[in-house]
Structure 1
Amino acid sequence: MNTLITAPARLARRMLPFRRQPKTSPALEALPFFAVPAHAIEVLRDSAAFRGELLRLIAQASQRIVIVTLYLQDDDGGREVLNALYAAKARRPSLQISVFVDWHRARRGLIGKQKSEGNAGMYRDYAARLGPGVDIYGVPVQNRELLGVLHLKGFVIDDAVLYSGASLNDVYLMRHGRYRLDRYHVLHHRGLADAMADFVQRHFVDSDAVRRLNVADVPATRTLQPAIRELRQDLQRARYDVPDATLGPTDVAVTPLLGFGGSDNALNDVLLALLRATRGRLILLTPYFNLPRPVRAVLGLLLRRGCLIDLMVGDKTANDFYIPPGQPFKTIGLLPYLYENNLRRFARAHHAHITSGQLNIHLWRDGDNSYHLKGLFIDDDVAVLTGNNLNPRAWTLDLENGLVLRDPERLLQAKHQAEWAALREHATRLPDYRALESPRNYPAEVRKLLRRLNRTRLDRLVNRLL
């Protein structure tokens, strides 16, 4: 963060192109899909239910467990999951277990904390004590974490896909009374589970860049750079293997999509196509209000078309980097204020739409808990489950995925409405941009840093990278 603030302005100009026009979006009707029975799609209410379902599925697993997540943390929540994985392997020695985490994130400590060997130290300790059987891999999507991370989501356990934007630690698993709100879905379908498990086998396990982290001899990142470059090129062409299915009257069309890079990004293209196809109602969830330019442009188009739009974002105090007044300030604590500034500008530009009720911005806050929602509800027949934060970093740098659910018979409508109602329990509608805290009232350290960023135009670079 400090490096970004002191970087020269020319670096910002180099890394902020955002002038390319998006390519023609694919026809949504032509998207291949899995025909998943509506009754096989479950919505879990909260992080406690997510933790319980994850541990239940692990305990019952008989064939495979494939976990893909940003990180598996060295804390009570992470250790609970690792203990469950090793116990499952002990019960069924034939059970295949593999865990994929971001390479860079696993090898460092927490931001703002003292240096450490990171979560990889815990992985090695478990392997040394409990032996082989749980393979934990680090996936280096880029040469440096700042330039992109593994942000795929989805846990495949036998024939079930447990999909959430959550990673695995205390707060995501609601340990010790605090939680970070996300979305949680379970889809029971062999074909979908096979496709997601096969993807990581083909593109991760078979890559020279992807290495085990729970072994004694872990190579340095610099020695992997040629292999990382090859992995990056492979991922830019990669797709899930999805058949041409026929949708039955009780089925929902589920399409898994991959997104990586600023061009030929299937997930981005379909998200834009879905947004443009909105007929009357859009609900957009994002944890950090920092929308990519193409998304902002489509929202403006929909408002002019007369569509009703609901946006739900976290209050700045619900951001995981928020530092309460009175605590020592660190530069990373600037981020929640940057996002609130983005939201304030957006709300001010759309003041008339907010006043008329056509645009509803919901701010989520629940004590000292935090907010991590992402995804879309479009009209009553489309939903997107994704780990994509709908920000410039996700749009161009991170490796992302998502599940598009098309439901022409509206079989999931009641479940979606119940989920949306539950998400709004701790949210308040923003009546006006003036209801947000004025930057003049921010802490002195925040005001100083914001002035420096604005003066050098580096605020746009920071918005893209963080």
Structure 2
Amino acid sequence: MKYNQLFVKERSRSAKNRIALSTLYLGDGSLERGLIDSIDYNLKRNENLHVTVLLDCLRGTRGVAQEKSSTTLLKAIADRAVVFLYHTPKLTGMVKRLLPERTNEIVGLQHMKLYIFDDSVLISGANLSDSYFVDRQDRYVLFENCKDLADFFCNLINAVGECSFLLNSDGSVTLHPNCSVHPYEGRFAEYRDLLRSRIGKVIGALQTQQASAQCSSSDTLLYPLVQMGLFGYHEEYELLKRLLSSKDSTTSITMASGYFNCIKEYEQLIFSEGKYSMDIVTAAPKANGFFGAAGPSGYVPSMYSWVCERILQMKEKYARNDVNLYEYHRDGWTFHAKGLWVDTPAQTATLVGSSNFGYRSVHRDLEAQILLVTSNERLRSQLKDERRRLFDFASLLDGAALRRADHHIPVVVRVSLHALQNPNVAENTIMGLLPVGLLVGKALMDNVARRAGPAQVVRTSATLGTVSSLRSRRRISSGVGQNPFEREQMLQRLGGTSIRRSHAQIERDNKLLQESLMNENWVAVYRYPGIRFAVLLARAKLLQTVASVLYLPYSSYQYVVGHADATFFYSTAALAVLAPVALAVFSRYLNRLIGVIAMNESNDFVRVGYLTFWGARKNKK
């Protein structure tokens, strides 16, 4: 469904009373501008129209300095619409100032994807961005003329919005007047209680309304679910715990997520308690939205390959042969569909919304879902067809498939994830370590880029005549001749040399070579296979050295006050002394490794690049 053309844009122009959009961010392409133009057109001709937009503050303001942010587009209607920007209360202080904008979203987001037009609700896992409009597989379920459902989600959006920032028409943001606690400058507990109470009023009003309503005999029921673990609401979490622990062998479950990495508790329920059959659909590496990304983000697809490998290992360990893993691959497309389908002999249920079932979805993000349960045969058939279409581009993922090149897991990724999956490391600790690790990684990668030296070349035997030719061309172009009877020229013809002049001559030759080969095309004939591993190993060693030295004062204090024994103190002291020594030895060794050897197209020159301590290539000779 091209919902930008068939639904969202058309309804934005034709809505009579209200438009409420909740999304992670709004893109800045032509399709997104067309959507804002449609809303702007409707606002100008309909004075009774109320427009509300809820975005995540971190994603919505990304790129604002380059005028390429969500707020850049939305400020055109900010004087007639209400634009909320939710900021997680977990990103504060020094961490907020230091984390780069492409990394800070790991701390927590506004992730609800709700598109409401009058009394109709389109719920999805997709954002309002061009890639979702064109070549990204996702889910969209439309609930037409469901006033109670639309009212509930509009009230939920407003409850979150009144504890958020407001976008002004000049592009600036200010705190909502009804928000008495600043999201990231105030006390977390006070902000949590404020937002929790407002969400609670919305949920309580729905429960009161349902309690007073007459019992329905409908064959289809809808249950809106709120998952906001940060504020104490765990409706999806409680549902999935019951569902995934089912012992009913007649039940079949399909789970889909473009970023499949469900929490450990779900995994244990699936493999150690569940008796149902289950299919899991996730993105193939090339269908992952981070495939080919620069920097640490480029490792994301291999991280999910590692997750798939672990799932297959658990399948074998628990002999759950009725649990199968599939990967979605469609040329030119990425995979972002998420949800759950449950089939029993009498009913079909589906869970549709924004959750990926991972740690962030359960504990940190704002998520909204709808659970649909039906015994209507026509609707059951439609849900079956929707699920089947995902498998049209999916293939079974097994051990053989994981050995393909696109599923290669770098050693550093494997080692890091194994360390973080230690049973003694809590999941919340992992989420706390990841931002710091990404921050350090980015800073060190920037350092590597600054340390990279200019390319230099060395001569092969085939270039001896070439150098003389280059010198001749330089003399001709400068119009300066040489006296053939000068001592320097005679020594060259007779095969002699002048020690006093040889160093200066070599420097002139090298400079001439550098100038003449500036535009040469170089072809690599050898690359050190472990260059990336060397980069990360060097950084890890540096980080370990700094941590060891910085920890020494604390361990000394613990020993003095009697909170630590002598063995602990002497161990940390020895580590603090030995770590810098090992660092020096380590850096000296890396400088001797050849990183790359390249030749020009005519094979006249060879360029040799050595590794620096940081593992980066530094071309020299």
CA drift of 1:224 comes to: 4.7
Provide the rounded CA distance (Å) in 1 between the counterparts of 2:147 and 2:294.
Answer: 49
- Alignment-mate amino acid for residue 387 of structure 2: W
Equivalence for 1:165 = 125
Structure 1 equivalent of residue 441 of structure 2: none
Moved more, 218-227 or 294-303: 218-227
Amino acid at match of 2:388: A
Deviations along 1:304-361, one digit per CA (max 9) or x if unpaired, are x2x11111111011111001xxxx84211101100111101111331488995x2222
Cα deviation for residue 275 of structure 1 reads: 2.8
Q: Which runs of structure 2 are paired with 1:20-419 in the superposition (5 Å)?
A: 46=1, 48-49=2-3, 51-109=5-63, 118-124=69-75, 126-127=76-77, 132-144=79-91, 145-174=105-134, 179-188=135-144, 189-201=146-158, 203-207=159-163, 209-212=164-167, 214-219=169-174, 224-226=183-185, 229=188, 230-237=190-197, 238-239=199-200, 240=203, 241-242=205-206, 243-244=210-211, 245-246=213-214, 248-261=216-229, 264-277=233-246, 279=248, 280-301=251-272, 303=274, 305=275, 307-323=276-292, 329-351=294-316, 356=321, 358-379=322-343, 380-409=347-376, 412-419=379-386
Give the number of the structure whose residues are more often helix, by fraction.
Answer: 2
Q: CA deviation at 1:440?
A: 10
* Alpha-carbon distance in 2 for matches of 1:332, 1:116: 24
Q: Does the C-alpha gap of structure 1 residues 54 and 454 become closer, same or farther in structure 2, counting only changes over 3 Å?
A: closer
Residue range with higher mean Cα deviation, 454-463 or 417-426: 454-463
Indicate if the aligned counterparts of 2:88 and 2:184 stay in contact, CA closer than 8 A.
Answer: no
Distance 1:215 1:449, change over 3 A: farther
8 Å contact 1:287–1:374 — kept in the other structure?
yes
Which amino acid is 1:121 matched to?
A: T
Identity %: 21
Displacement of 1:266 in angstroms is: 2.0
Whichever of the two has the greater Rg, that structure is 2
CA contact (8 A) 2:4 2:31 kept: no
CA distance in 2, matches of 1:455, 1:302: 24
- Quote the residue 1:420 is aligned against: 387
Q: Which amino acid aligns with 1:369?
A: W
| CA distance 1:411–1:449, shift in 2 (3 Å) | same
Deviation at 1:59, TM superposition (A): 2.0
Deviation readout 1:204-261 (Å, 9 max, x if unpaired): 3433x33225444324999652568444334445243422344544442111111112
Instruction: Measure the CA separation in 2 of the matches of 1:123 and 1:268.
Output: 34
8 Å CA contact 2:182–2:191 kept in 1: the answer is no
- After TM superposition, the score normalised by the length of structure 2 is 0.58
Q: Which moved more, 1:242-251 or 1:339-348?
A: 242-251
* SS of alignment partner, residue 223 of structure 2: strand
Q: Quote the Cα distance in structure 1 between the aligned partners of 2:407 and 2:384.
A: 38
Write out per-residue CA displacement over residues 37-66 of structure 1, whole angstroms, 9 at most, x where no aligned residue: xxxxxxxxx3x1464111222222000000
Paired residue type of 1:376:
L
Amino acid at match of 1:83: D
The CA distance in 1 between the partners of 2:302 and 2:431, in whole Å, is: 12
Amino acid at match of 2:308: L
Pick closer, same or farther for the CA change 1:283–1:213 going to 2, 3 Å: farther
- Distance in 2, matches of 1:349 and 1:400, equals 28
Partner of 2:534: none
Note closer, same or farther for the CA distance 1:214–1:250 as it changes in structure 2 (3 Å cut).
same
Separation in structure 1 between the aligned mates of residue 161 and residue 260 of structure 2, nearest angstrom: 35
CA distance, structure 1, for counterparts of residue 129 and residue 316 of structure 2: 39
Instruction: Evaluate the alpha carbon distance shift between residue 228 and residue 265 of structure 1 in structure 2; reply closer, same or farther with a 3 A threshold.
Output: farther
TM-aligned CA distance change 1:85 to 1:449, over 3 Å? farther
Alpha-carbon shift at residue 86 of structure 1 (Å): 0.7
The number of residue pairs the alignment matches comes to 396
Post-superposition CA distance 1:170-226 (Å, at most 9, x none): 11111xxxx11111011121111111112222x13433x332254443249996525
Tell me the secondary structure at the aligned position of residue 356 of structure 2. coil
CA contact (8 A) 2:305 2:407 kept: no
User: Quick one: distance in 2 between partners of 1:285 and 1:172?
Assistant: 17
Check conservation: 2:62, 2:69, Cα contact below 8 A.
Answer: yes
Contact residue 388 and residue 402 of structure 1 kept, 8 A: yes
The 8 Å contact of residues 28 and 73 in structure 2, kept in 1 or not, is answered as: yes
Segments of 5+ residues of structure 1 without an aligned counterpart are 1-45
Instruction: Kindly indicate whether the alpha-carbon contact (under 8 Å) linking 2:112 and 2:354 is maintained by their aligned counterparts in 1.
Output: yes
Distance 2:106 2:4 in 1: 29
Name 2:471's counterpart in structure 1: none
- Name which structure has the greater RCO, CA cutoff 8 Å, separation 6+: 1
In structure 2, do the counterparts of structure 1 residues 436 and 354 end up closer, same or farther at CA, with 3 Å as the change threshold?
Answer: farther
- Choose the corresponding residue for 1:437, options 403, 414, 417: 403
Residues 363-393 of structure 1: CA distance to partner in whole angstroms, max 9, x if unpaired? 1011121111111111242211120011111
- 1:180–1:370 contact (8 Å) kept in structure 2: yes
The Cα RMSD (Å) is 3.1
Structure 2 CA distance, aligned partners of 1:67 and 1:349? 40
Q: 1:205 to 1:314 in 2, by over 3 A?
A: closer
The answer to whether the 8 A contact 2:261-2:358 is kept is yes
- d(CA) in 1 for partners of 2:245 and 2:433? 23
Give ranges in structure 2 of 5+ residues lacking alignment.
92-104, 436-621
Task: Note the C-alpha offset of 1:277.
Answer: 4.0
Q: After superposing the two structures, state which structure 1 stretch, 313-322 or 400-409, moved more.
A: 400-409
